[in-house]
Chains A and B, each alone.
Chain A
Amino acid sequence: MKKEFEVISQIIQNNKRVLDIGCGDGTLMEYLKVNQQNDVRGLEPEKDLVQKCISRGLSVIEGDAEKELVQFPKKSFDYVVLSQTLQAFLHPEEVLDQLLRIGRQTIVSIPNFGYWKVRLHLLFKGTMPITKNLPNEWYNTPNLHMCTIQDFVNFCNKKNIKIDKSMCLTNEKISQITKVNMQYKNIFSQLGIFLIQ
């Protein structure tokens, strides 16, 4: 399991209800179900991935988060997880509002567009950055709304969203983001992981 999922699973307490949005093949869900006795559900737009989840015994609904989230009642999950997908939505702000409505707490991870390699790529090559975390060309990337760690924190502040935990990943190493190291982390982290409510 990738490091990001390890971090997310450590945030999630045992025996809680979890909704994994864009759950993919269900790797994180299965881990949470088996090792932490979480009651997990998933939402995934791709049919073959949904089928893979079903074959693993996971309850996953085929659907698009931008349309499907309204059906879940208020605070019906202890945690809602959105891993590296916020930037791919047409209306990320609305999706985030739904996540906060459905979950008591929400875990969001974002690929950091402020990462130094991304910055240098644009600065020196003058073309849209392609990195390990952002492998697509500008014309075929699913990422419509890229942001930096700083952008996301600013956004939460503006919307009065409480950030309970903020962490970042750099080359598989996890560290905390604080007010003091924010500028630094915004340059040297590939991924930001936030627990918000």
Chain B
Amino acid sequence: MNSDTKNIKKLNIDQSLELDCGKIIKNFPLAYETYGTLNKSKSNAILVFHALTGDQFVTNINPITKREGWWTIVVGPGKAIDTNKYFVVCANVLGGCMGSYGPKEINPETNKLFGTTFPVITIRDMVKAQKYLLDHLGLKKLLAVTGGSMGGMQVLQFVSLYPDMAHSAIPIACSASHSAQNIALNELGRQAIMGDPNWKKENATPDKGLAIARMAAHITYLSKKGLQEKFGRKLQDKGSLKFSFDADFQIESYLRYQGATFVDRFDANSYLYITRAMDYFDLVKQFSGNLSLAFKNTKSKFCVISFSSDWLYPTIENKEIVIALNACGANVGFVEINSDKGHDSFLLDVPEFLKTISEFLNSTYNEINNEKRI
């Protein structure tokens, strides 16, 4: 795993943060990246939250992995989130492995890697940590907060914690409360990692376990129809079945590749911590069973987006957010985008999705700037 994260932007947070688990952390790094330029009135900043395996390198070439940023389809010059127009900020989450405080960092008290001695973190902890970054950047009010999947959960948590801080919020393909199915799938991944004999060993990494976790998760990001159309029963570089356990089928080969390349860029313990944070996320419970209370004071204008073939964070779960927002009279729009690409749709070139984001942001931006002129 590539650990050359020394040259990336990091904010050292010298304040202390009390985590939901009760532990207090202080003097911890938060790695981040920004794109575009903050305008004079500071009215064009967008905070992007990344998903489980994302990082702060939203667009362009990721300097660590040398691969395209995870949201290059959406963010960049002339893209839906146009960096010629907007100032985009993204931080690596707490518990992540791209330079932020996480299990891959050295514990200053022991001078050893944290590993599983790192405290268990939550989505709320992640969001609170990123608030320090906004303060550091002098951003008092954001044009928008957005993110898909776990990024969407952070959006919900953010507007709940800071109801005055975002003009608009775009939670994408997410849920206000992680479902039993999603906890189950995350547990499958964690068990794959923890079942690897190399887990917790010094000078070894549980690559096999992490790869299996990624393979299993990757299936959940796609749809049955999408898989069938892309792979069907096509064979991998061979004319007939080989009556063996090699990757006969293209889908097998594809998943193996996904698993193998993932271990080069991701830390197995980070995977444990971040999936745990997702499982613990329950905004409904945070507000005693009434999700509307989470948004009671929100001033943000919402655009909730789901995808028709997403079975991991299905439309119905996104709609629960819409219902809660309506119940407290919040300003909310909602659209389900037709796509066969499953949960992954939010990372892919789905024109209607890109158009929705682009136009929603554009209209929000114009509203704010017209108001200012008056």
Binding site for B on A (CB under 8 A): 17, 39, 41, 47, 50-51, 53-63, 71-73, 76
Q: List 20 A-B contacts (CB under 8 A).
A: A17-B329, A39-B331, A47-B352, A50-B333, A50-B334, A50-B335, A51-B335, A51-B355, A54-B363, A55-B362, A55-B363, A57-B364, A57-B367, A59-B331, A61-B333, A61-B334, A63-B334, A71-B322, A71-B326, A71-B327
Q: Contact at B366–A54, with CB atoms within 8 Å?
A: no
For A42, the closest partner residue in chain B by CB is B333
With A59-B332, A62-B335, A73-B329 known as contacts, the answer to whether A54 contacts B323 (CB < 8 A) is no
Which residues of chain B are near A50, meaning CB under 8 Å?
A: 333-335
Question: Other than the known A39-B331, A72-B326, what 11 A-B pairs have Cβ atoms closer than 8 Å?
Answer: A47-B337, A51-B356, A54-B359, A54-B363, A57-B363, A59-B301, A59-B332, A61-B334, A62-B334, A71-B326, A76-B329
Least distance between A81 CB and chain B CB atoms (Å): 16
A-B pair count, CB < 8 Å, reads 67
Which residues of chain B are near A63, meaning CB under 8 Å?
A: 319, 334
With A47-B338, A59-B301, A61-B322 known as contacts, the answer to whether A54 contacts B333 (CB < 8 A) is yes
Q: Mark B306-329, 1 if CB is under 8 A from A, else 0.
A: 000000000000010011001101
Which residues of chain A are near B231, meaning CB under 8 Å?
A: none
**Dominant secondary structure at the B interface:** helix
Q: Contact at A41–B356, with CB atoms within 8 Å?
A: no
Of A51, A53, A56, the most chain B CB neighbours within 10 A belong to: A51
- Distance in angstroms between the alpha carbons of A53 and B303 in the assembled complex: 11
Q: Contact at B329–A57, with CB atoms within 8 Å?
A: no
Which residues of chain A are near B326, meaning CB under 8 Å?
A: 61, 71-73, 76
Binding site for A on B (CB under 8 A): 301-303, 319, 322-323, 326-327, 329, 331-338, 352, 355-356, 359-360, 362-364, 366-367
Which residues of chain A are near B323, meaning CB under 8 Å?
A: 71
- Distance in angstroms between the alpha carbons of A76 and B292 in the assembled complex: 14
- Distance in angstroms between the alpha carbons of A56 and B355 in the assembled complex: 12
Q: Contact at B338–A60, with CB atoms within 8 Å?
A: no
Which residues of chain A are near B362, meaning CB under 8 Å?
A: 55
- Distance in angstroms between the alpha carbons of A47 and B351 in the assembled complex: 13
Q: Contact at B327–A73, with CB atoms within 8 Å?
A: yes
Which residues of chain A are near B332, meaning CB under 8 Å?
A: 41, 59, 61
Which residues of chain A are near B360, meaning CB under 8 Å?
A: 54-55, 57
Least distance between B3 CB and chain A CB atoms (Å): 42
Q: Contact at A60–B333, with CB atoms within 8 Å?
A: yes
Q: Contact at A62–B336, with CB atoms within 8 Å?
A: yes
Least distance between B24 CB and chain A CB atoms (Å): 40
